[in-house]
Structure 1
């Protein structure tokens, strides 16, 4: 028997729940990771650069193929089940189930016919914490559905389909970053992604440092947040600067067109243009194993998101301040869409325990809320494997 690690525990839960709900044993298990973005926020839909990594917190999905087109999915997180046929899809009110129906829809749009399947989903990605549980769900469903339809798994192409689910079915105008890293992540590495041509470069994590996720305990509803507003402001600024995307701008151009930009559009454009430069510098720092330089760029990114892009908040700012005050911290920043959720810190290896204890205590004292801090490892992207029959309860 294998050691009792988190993945094994999740698989045991899958086995129990699958037997309970479908009176059967699953055939396969899909593992789809969450992600943390080390640097490069809001640059993806501006055709820019991002530097995320897949993390060792994931959704796990037990699946068994059916002979009809009925799809039944039970979520342990929501303690709820949805069922529908792939031949009668329709949009409903926003819920976790819409990501699932959206994935089947997008495959049909590409000319594929997924078969029915039974599925149980469990996991340990905190929902709504800016760790991309939604992208993990999309890529996991796509991985399962491509198996049932006999479709070759091409990670970046499937990431693009996951983005279409968000944009065209769910109604969230996100870029490609979350889906790309969930699909294409690599153990021990972050991934520099060019969101224009979807090319990517592996970037090794600094050897003497650790990534720690800092969950403030606050949550936001992304579809209803100011995300789409920021997107519109970026395209407004690009239009005034006579470019299609802010990725094509630079500081000289920004100042040249400043008189034509509203004060708000100027600040939004300033963040994107400088953030793209920071991402490329950060990738070089990682290639050079320069942890202190990477940490400096991370904190600069946070200040820009706080002051120029205005997507941070009291909880996130307080968490970053608590982290930066610790002597083991090389850098910290909010991560994800902001407003609430998580920050991320780069911490000296070997001092993780001290950092977690002291930062948790400092944050709790200032915010009267207990945070959760997760020491993370970079993980591989979405994968599929046979279900471990040893885990079936006797």
Structure 2
């Protein structure tokens, strides 16, 4: 996404919920596993999950916001490659918007979330996670053009399920090589004399050397695979879509080098199990989860076999769970 290319995410039925009420002052007080409190008049950087809330307040313009207090609950695993940071950013933005009478523009609010993460938290994330949290539609994936942020909803294939395969390993992107990958891509684009690798061709990639060549080859190939995947999804062609997922994982592993032993093992075991069309890692990489495309008829045996084989091979406790595509962030007022 940070290369301005195409992405094909979906919002899944794992939730982060904020139950909140406005306060008469300009204080935000929130309870989760720990308590966090800060004033909208004196925002200062600290550490921990509350930094995402502060970053959203700054990006929205803290001077126009109303304080609130609430509780955050989530079944969305942190560090599993499931966009947990984007979820808290967009949920926080929605609370501020509701209590402060701000217009809710999904694309603009996704940009608020990205700004919070980039400029306050210090993570050089792209826009995909925030956009799908804001614009997701039930029963659909969304083909997003990260240059102009436009998108097209693509219906999922009947009788085929998306299975989330959690390796049980976790990462903190801020402390990982994620930012380095973005720097590599920017350096490759500069070498080619273009603004974004989205505009590079395979012939352009062949003029590069070493690490820059590998990074650019992944980006150009992944952009092409994503467009092809959207066509396959629209055509109901699970076989082609699965093959593209397998190729994507291989490229993430070999050229972008953001995989791990656990992710590679989980993907390989899934790909080799009956009923699976394809599998790849998801998220920023280095740990977390894979996603697999599995025929509904093969789901029971797939869900039994893959985590068991993964544990036997790695010693880690993995899991398999069917996920559904749902709507993005919503707000509900209680009487």
Deviation at 1:253, TM superposition (A): 2.0
Correspondent of 1:171 among 119, 122, 141: 122
Q: Does the CA contact (< 8 Å) of 1:203 and 1:287 recur in 2?
A: yes
* Structure 2 unaligned blocks of 5 or more: none
Equivalent residue, structure 2, for 1:62 = 19
Correspondent of 1:247 among 198, 201, 221: 198
Q: Does the CA contact (< 8 Å) of 1:208 and 1:291 recur in 2?
A: no
Whether 1:160 and 2:94 are equivalent positions in the alignment is no
- Cα RMSD, aligned residues only: 1.0
Aligned mates of 2:115, 2:198 — CA distance in 1: 21
Equivalent residue, structure 1, for 2:161 = 210
Deviation at 1:386, TM superposition (A): 2.2
Q: Considering only CA atoms, is the larger Rg found in Structure 1 or Structure 2?
A: 1
Deviation at 1:114, TM superposition (A): 1.2
Equivalent residue, structure 2, for 1:265 = 212
Matches within 5 A, 1:183-332: 183-255=134-206, 257=207, 261-332=208-279
Correspondent of 2:60 among 80, 96, 107: 107
Equivalent residue, structure 2, for 1:23 = none
The superposition leaves residues 142-180 of structure 1 with CA deviations (integer Å, 9 ceiling, x where unpaired) of 000011110011111100010000110000011100000
Correspondent of 2:296 among 338, 349, 352: 349
Whether 1:370 and 2:317 are equivalent positions in the alignment is yes
Equivalent residue, structure 2, for 1:73 = 30
**Structure 1 ranges of 4+ moved more than 3 A:** none
- Partner SS state of residue 383, structure 1: coil
Deviation at 1:372, TM superposition (A): 1.7
The superposition leaves residues 334-362 of structure 1 with CA deviations (integer Å, 9 ceiling, x where unpaired) of 11111100010000013222111100111
Equivalent residue, structure 1, for 2:36 = 82
Aligned mates of 1:84, 1:263 — CA distance in 2: 47
Query: Size of the alignment, in residue pairs?
Result: 335
Aligned mates of 2:28, 2:170 — CA distance in 1: 30
Correspondent of 2:89 among 119, 138, 142: 138
Deviation at 1:105, TM superposition (A): 1.1
Aligned mates of 1:85, 1:219 — CA distance in 2: 32
* Structure 1 unaligned blocks of 5 or more: 1-43, 390-394
Deviation at 1:63, TM superposition (A): 0.8
The superposition leaves residues 314-353 of structure 1 with CA deviations (integer Å, 9 ceiling, x where unpaired) of 0000000110111110000011111100010000013222
- Partner SS state of residue 102, structure 2: coil
Q: Does the CA contact (< 8 Å) of 1:46 and 1:246 recur in 2?
A: yes
Q: Does the CA contact (< 8 Å) of 1:130 and 1:336 recur in 2?
A: yes
